[in-house]
Chains A and B, each alone.
Chain A
Amino acid sequence: MEYFTQLFLGGLTRGSIYALIALGYTMVYGIIELINFTHGEIYMIGAFTALITASVLTLYGFNELSILVMASLVAVIYSSAYGYTIEKIAYKPLRHAPRLSPLISAIGMSIFLQNYVLLAQTSDFVPFPALVPEFAFMKAYEHIFSSAELMILLTTTVVMIILSCVIKFTKTGMAMRATAQDRKMAMLVGVDVNRIISVTFIIGSALAAVGGVLIASHIGQINFYIGFIAGIKAFTAAVLGGIGSIPGAVLGGFVLGWTESFATGYVSSDYEDVFAFALLVLILIFRPAGILGKSKSEKV
């Protein structure tokens, strides 16, 4: 039973990592139906920004918690700027192009950013400091569930709730939903669609940056390529949960994390991806829109 609990908790951590990145994916898709391949790269840039900020702050002797907060803040601002700019450069000019064009543009942007960081920083793995402090009350459970893991889980949950509320109850949220349903109609009733899309990208990128800081701090190392693999898995989680749905992304992340964890624990880690993607196929056979996704008829 203890083994089961450990695998369960391991899957939970992994799941919340996927979920944290998947939230941004699913949000952008929900609003403009674009698979934003640069999301993983924004996550990676967030982690690098936090690393640089944290290194500088450590030199000036700030304490742990303030470093975490300030590094996250700088990462969020920097990544949001990236997200905003990428949308303006790579997606906005293609707003009326066939759907495949922005997709290719996204892939191109993702490769560009990877190589940019590779050249500007390094191709090597660099150590990432453990920014999340060790909470005293977690001391007894440290060998099963670390403070960083708890932090990731809490952040994912809180972000999910806040996002859902923003979309449901605020004016911007309403405009987002309107844009998602019908962009032209939303424009006719006075929604500034371009602004809404920009806001979506900024929020999505900010989430990716927070994810980057927390996850890198948990794993302890980063390089220019981490965004790609994390992005693919997060995308899978988003599809599994129903792309476009905020709670769906979190649920999808957990389901994926648990599947991988239990497949490794009870079968073999050689087959971890096989089980994960077999599950994805099975779920999509029975629920083509994902677990929580709403299947809607194609707009004409």
Chain B
Amino acid sequence: MKSTVMRIFLAAAVILLIVPAMSCTKHESGAIKVGVAGAHSGDLASYGLPTVKAAELVVKEINAKGGIRGRKVELMAEDDVCKPEVATNTASKLMSQDVHFVIGHICSGATKAALGIYKESKVITISPSATNPPLTQSGDYPNFFRTIASDDAQAKLEVDFALDVLKLKKIAVLHDKGDYGKGLAEFAKDFIDKSGRAEVVLYEGITPGAVDYSAVVQKVKNSGAEGIIYGGYHPEASKLIMLMRKKKMDTLFISDDGVKDMTFIKVAGEYAEGVYATGPKDVSKNPLAIAATEAHKTAYRTDPGAFFLNAYAATQALLNAIEKAGSTDYKAVSNALRTEYVDTPLGKIKFDERGDAIGLGFSMFQVKNGEYVEVK
């Protein structure tokens, strides 16, 4: 009896050893294997699972059409629970399965941990959601691309707008001391300092919820700033702008998507007129986005979750690049990603040298007649 069990074990072991060996030989002719890595369980599963669904939908469509140049696309989902220490294992596992490309990871920390392994194996990785700026900006990961704007994209847009369009020379940078507001303000300050074309005359944090900001407003006035770049949310922004306008100051006000909210206009009323705020590009009217959302509803009977469209775009961009490159070769595909435009739910995109998608992210809006209007 015992020996029978032993034999089954041995047989299983042999089969297990053979299978990967066989898959190795399939490298250039068999299915194209795409790993989908991210948080698929745990607290942050809701951020990761929509990506799996997006990739499945895109791949199903491609395979129904006969695949890419006759080769089917195969997905392999691996969980990293959004933890960097797990992500390295996830990456190693995907590499041992000879995955050609990876869609993922979801969280910036996990993505960074896994990227080193993908880089060694020369595997192109496209994340739908990792926003940490150095992932692309450091230049450490030439194999990395993403279909989401990085954290500093808003600050960059604000500063470019202030310098190039409004031609400001003296700028006050204020923030609300919170993670979001202060982070943005720090980026904005850095960008201004580096540009050398304008001066940050004031850099301060204000206390959220304080009854009165007149001292800060006086300070702005005294600093001679022509414009304010504010990082934070609308309640403080509306207090600041109302106070400034009541004190007859016409200092320009540029802020972020925390302020690009109808409540801001409702509360600040006439004083909101002329305020600039950055916000995500509106894709809700894009026919591809509508189609992708509909496809999700038909397949899963629910509305898509977080980063669904980003993941949809990432998968489309990847498959398009493979198609254009004509192979799964690392160099050819990364070139195709950087040169070929592709129509996605997020608009027509391609990637820049560093791996950030061109043609998506944020636009500048201005309050005109009680509404935010995109500044062209």
Contacts and interface: CB of A to CB of B under 8 A. Distances in A.
B277 to A, nearest CB: 16
Interface in B218-271: 218-219, 221-222, 234-235, 238-239, 242, 246-248, 263, 266-269
B222 to A, nearest CB: 5
B352 interface: no
B211 A269 contact: no
Contacts of B214: 9-10, 13-14, 261
A233 B204 contact: no
A33 interface: no
A157 interface: no
Given A219-B212, A221-B239, A269-B206, A264 B267 contact: no
B237 to A, nearest CB: 11
B204 A270 contact: yes
Nearest to B203: A268
A265 B235 contact: no
Contact of B247 (A3, A11, A143, A265): A143
A229 B235 contact: no
A13 B212 CA distance: 8
A146 B218 CA distance: 14
Contacts of B1: none
Contacts of A223: 235
Contact of A264 (B211, B219, B238, B268): B219
B267 A127 contact: yes
B209 A229 contact: yes
Nearest to B235: A125
Interface in A261-277: 261-262, 264-265, 268-270, 272-273
A142 B221 CA distance: 15
A236 to B, nearest CB: 12
A127 B266 contact: yes
B267 A126 contact: yes
B239 A269 contact: no
14 contacts: A6-B218, A6-B221, A124-B263, A125-B235, A144-B247, A219-B242, A220-B238, A220-B239, A229-B211, A262-B215, A264-B216, A265-B218, A268-B204, A270-B205
A230 interface: yes
A274 to B, nearest CB: 11
A269 B219 contact: yes
Interface string B170-194: 0000000100000000000000000
Nearest to B246: A146
Contacts of A146: 246
Interface of B: 177, 204-207, 209-212, 214-216, 218-219, 221-222, 234-235, 238-239, 242, 246-248, 263, 266-269
Contacts of A225: 209
Contacts of B177: 270
A221 B267 contact: yes
B352 to A, nearest CB: 36
Interface in A96-148: 124-127, 142-144, 146
Contacts of A219: 211-212, 239, 242
A41 interface: no
A82 B239 CA distance: 29
The bracket for how many chain A residues form the interface is 35 or more
A50 interface: no
Contacts of A268: 204-205
B271 to A, nearest CB: 8
Interface string A209-225: 00000010011110101
Contacts of A250: none
A212 to B, nearest CB: 12
Nearest to B174: A269
A87 interface: no
B267 A229 contact: no
Given A6-B218, A11-B215, A219-B211, 11 more contacts: A9-B214, A10-B214, A14-B211, A14-B214, A126-B267, A127-B266, A219-B242, A220-B268, A221-B239, A229-B211, A269-B205
Contact of B216 (A9, A220, A269): A269
A222 to B, nearest CB: 10
A143 to B, nearest CB: 4
Interface centre among A261, A269, A272 (most CB of B within 10 A): A269
B235 to A, nearest CB: 5
B249 to A, nearest CB: 8
A219 B267 CA distance: 11
A197 interface: no
Contact of B215 (A127, A215, A265): A265
A124 to B, nearest CB: 6
A254 to B, nearest CB: 13
A226 B247 CA distance: 23
Nearest to B234: A125
A119 B239 CA distance: 24
B219 A265 contact: yes
B267 A220 contact: yes
B183 to A, nearest CB: 15
A10 B216 CA distance: 10
A17 interface: yes
Given A269-B206, A269-B207, A7 B267 contact: no
Contacts of A262: 215
